[in-house]
């Protein structure tokens, strides 16, 4: 489907359709520092891309349109508040091309779930439109545009397992021997607002509880190198978990049910309310998911693997 010649000076548009698959993220370590003057919290996080995907298709058009199907899309506006539209327009403005495309999203990543689905869709849009419009930006340039729209977008362009600092937008890959980790993702009924979870954390910390923040990710990084689920399980941590639990106390039942179903360990994913559980292998993950579904504590429990590549043309 290559649509341009070898030595073109002029960017040439792709005939389309361009189809991009993008994963959800979980945080293996989410250390949240104090609130900065710019309104962001300083983060020290380890991102991990898992095999739960949204798919964005871009076709040539003479205006910018968006259609969506799947998970939670009925609750999402198709206007300028949609991160897909914002990403397409930001790329067009940067590269001085008209923002013309027909975009279609097939969504599987639950909405407002702490899995960065909106950021994933924005990352997919940047990759798809860059190819469709022949603007040929480097991945780092797309990440720079992405960072202005959402802190998780640079990671979702990158994928794999990576350290995130700043407010999460500064990514450094973690070099480790390739290991596949097996997860169970317990999707909740309804979402949680990320800003609200951060506000709750600040409130808890003002009352000096929880007393101790996670800090850096050294223990998690060395656990990743050991390739042992028990060791990794003991190193997982999320500073936002107490805040998510304060806002959604029934998540404690989900974590308990996962542990009773035999998971190595479980934690809230990012700002929640999705909970993720580590399993020892694919069969074990299947049993933990079945146990969680039988307990009836979540909307759906599904298995996933990680790490996965970031947003890629399929
Ligand atoms: P994060 O962990 O990145 O803060 P999240 O995973 O909790 O986010 P998202 O599904 O990324 O939640 O969405 C958060 C909010 O972003 C949604 O409630 C919605 O208002 C807004 N949003 C805008 N565009 C999109 C989109 N294309 N997909 C999902 N959410 C979008």
For 209-263, what is each residue's pLDDT tens digit?
776 789 899 999 999 999 999 999 999 999 999 999 999 999 999 999 999 999 9
Question: Rounded to the nearest 5°, which phi and psi values hold at 72?
Answer: 70, 5
Q: Tell whether the model's pLDDT for residue 307 goes beyond 90.
A: yes
Atom of ligand 1 nearest to the CA of 86: 24
Determine the pLDDT at residue 23: 98
Q: Which residues contact 241 (CB under 8 A, 6 or more apart)?
A: 267, 268, 272
Q: Which residues contact 175 (CB under 8 A, 6 or more apart)?
A: none
Asked if residue 125 has its Cβ within 6 Å of ligand 1, the reply is no
For ligand 1, pick from 79, 112, 273 the residue to mutate: most ligand atoms within 8 Å of CB.
112
The ipTM (two decimal places) reads 0.93
Q: Tell whether the model's pLDDT for residue 95 goes beyond 80.
A: yes
Q: Is 219 left (phi over 0), alpha (psi -120 to 50) or beta?
A: alpha
Determine the pLDDT at residue 34: 86
Known binding-site residues for ATP equal 110-120
Determine the pLDDT at residue 11: 58
CA dihedral 258, 262, 265, 269 (to 10 degrees): -30
Residue with tokens 């307990």: 295
Known binding-site residues equal 110-120
Query: How far apart, in whole angstroms, are the C-alpha atoms of residue 127 and residue 153?
Result: 11
Question: DSSP secondary-structure letter at 276?
Answer: E
User: ∠ CA 190-65-195 to the nearest 5 degrees?
Assistant: 35
Asked if residue 117 has its Cβ within 6 Å of ligand 1, the reply is yes
Q: Tell whether the model's pLDDT for residue 140 goes beyond 80.
A: yes
Weakest mean pLDDT among 66-75, 137-146, 155-164, 291-300: 66-75
Determine the pLDDT at residue 117: 97
Determine the pLDDT at residue 39: 87
| Confidence label for 172 from pLDDT (cuts 50, 70 and 90) | very high
Q: Tell whether the model's pLDDT for residue 103 goes beyond 80.
A: yes
Distance 212 CA to ligand 1 centre (A): 29
Please give the span between the terminal C-alpha atoms of the chain, in angstroms, as a whole number: 11
High-pLDDT (> 90) share of the chain, %: 86
Q: Give, using CA atoms, the residue closest to atom 8 of ligand 1.
A: 116
Asked if residue 116 has its Cβ within 6 Å of ligand 1, the reply is yes
Model confidence pLDDT, tens digit, residues 265-279 = 999 999 999 999 999
CA distances from 308 to 43, 83, 164, 190, 213 (A): 22, 22, 16, 26, 28
Determine the pLDDT at residue 12: 67
Q: Give, using CA atoms, the residue closest to atom 1 of ligand 1.
A: 116
| Structural domains present in the chain | 18-174 (3.30.230.10), 181-306 (3.30.70.890)
- Give mean pLDDT, residues 165-179: 90
Catalytic residue positions, numbered: 25, 152
Query: How far apart, in whole angstroms, are the C-alpha atoms of residue 263 and residue 277?
Result: 6
CA distances from 215 to 18, 30, 33, 38, 259 (A): 41, 9, 8, 20, 26
Atom of ligand 1 nearest to the CA of 120: 11
Residue with tokens 């924005």: 122
Average pLDDT in the chain: 94
Higher pLDDT, 263 or 178: 263
Asked if residue 24 has its Cβ within 6 Å of ligand 1, the reply is no
3 state DSSP class of 112: coil
3 state DSSP class of 50: strand
Determine the pLDDT at residue 35: 86
Model confidence pLDDT, tens digit, residues 2-18 = 444 444 445 567 877 99
Q: Give, using CA atoms, the residue closest to atom 15 of ligand 1.
A: 112
Q: Give, using CA atoms, the residue closest to atom 31 of ligand 1.
A: 118
Asked if residue 84 has its Cβ within 6 Å of ligand 1, the reply is yes
Distance 190 CA to ligand 1 centre (A): 12
| Confidence label for 208 from pLDDT (cuts 50, 70 and 90) | confident
Determine the pLDDT at residue 6: 44
Query: How far apart, in whole angstroms, are the C-alpha atoms of residue 32 and residue 210?
Result: 12
Long-range contacts made by residues 203-206, C-beta under 8 angstroms, separation at least 24? 204/242, 204/243, 204/246
């Amino acid at each position: 489907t290559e649509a341009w010649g070898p030595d073109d000076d002029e960017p040439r548009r792709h005939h389309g359709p361009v189809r991009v698959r993008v994963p959800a993220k979980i945080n293996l370590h989410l250390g949240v520092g104090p609130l900065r003057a710019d309104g962001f919290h300083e983060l020290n996080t380890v991102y991990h891309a898992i095999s739960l995907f949204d798919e964005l298709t871009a076709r040539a058009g003479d205006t910018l349109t968006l259609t969506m199907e799947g998970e939670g899309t009925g609750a999402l506006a198709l206007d300028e508040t949609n991160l897909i539209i914002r990403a397409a327009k930001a790329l067009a403005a940067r590269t001085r091309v008209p923002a013309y495309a027909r975009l279609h999203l097939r969504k599987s990543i639950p909405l407002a779930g702490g899995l960065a689905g909106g950021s994933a869709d924005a990352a997919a849009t940047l990759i798809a439109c860059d190819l469709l419009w022949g603007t040929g930006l480097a991945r780092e340039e797309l990440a720079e545009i992405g960072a202005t729209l959402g802190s998780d977008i640079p990671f979702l362009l990158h994928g794999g397992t990576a350290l995130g600092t700043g407010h999460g937008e500064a990514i450094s890959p973690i070099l480790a021997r390739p290991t596949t980790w097996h997860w169970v993702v317990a999707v909740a009924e309804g979402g949680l607002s990320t800003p609200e979870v951060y506000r709750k954390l600040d409130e808890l910390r003002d009352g000096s509880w929880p007393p101790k923040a996670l800090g850096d990710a050294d223990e998690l990084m060395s656990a990743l190198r050991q390739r042992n689920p028990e060791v990794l399980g003991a190193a997982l941590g999320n500073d936002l978990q107490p805040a998510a639990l304060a806002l959604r106390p029934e998540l404690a039942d989900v974590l308990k049910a996962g542990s009773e179903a035999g998971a190595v360990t479980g934690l809230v994913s990012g700002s929640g309310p999705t909970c993720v559980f580590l399993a020892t292998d694919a069969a074990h993950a299947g049993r933990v998911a079945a146990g969680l579904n039988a307990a009836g504590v979540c909307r759906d429990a599904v298995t996933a693997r990680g790490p996965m590549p970031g947003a890629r043309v399929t």
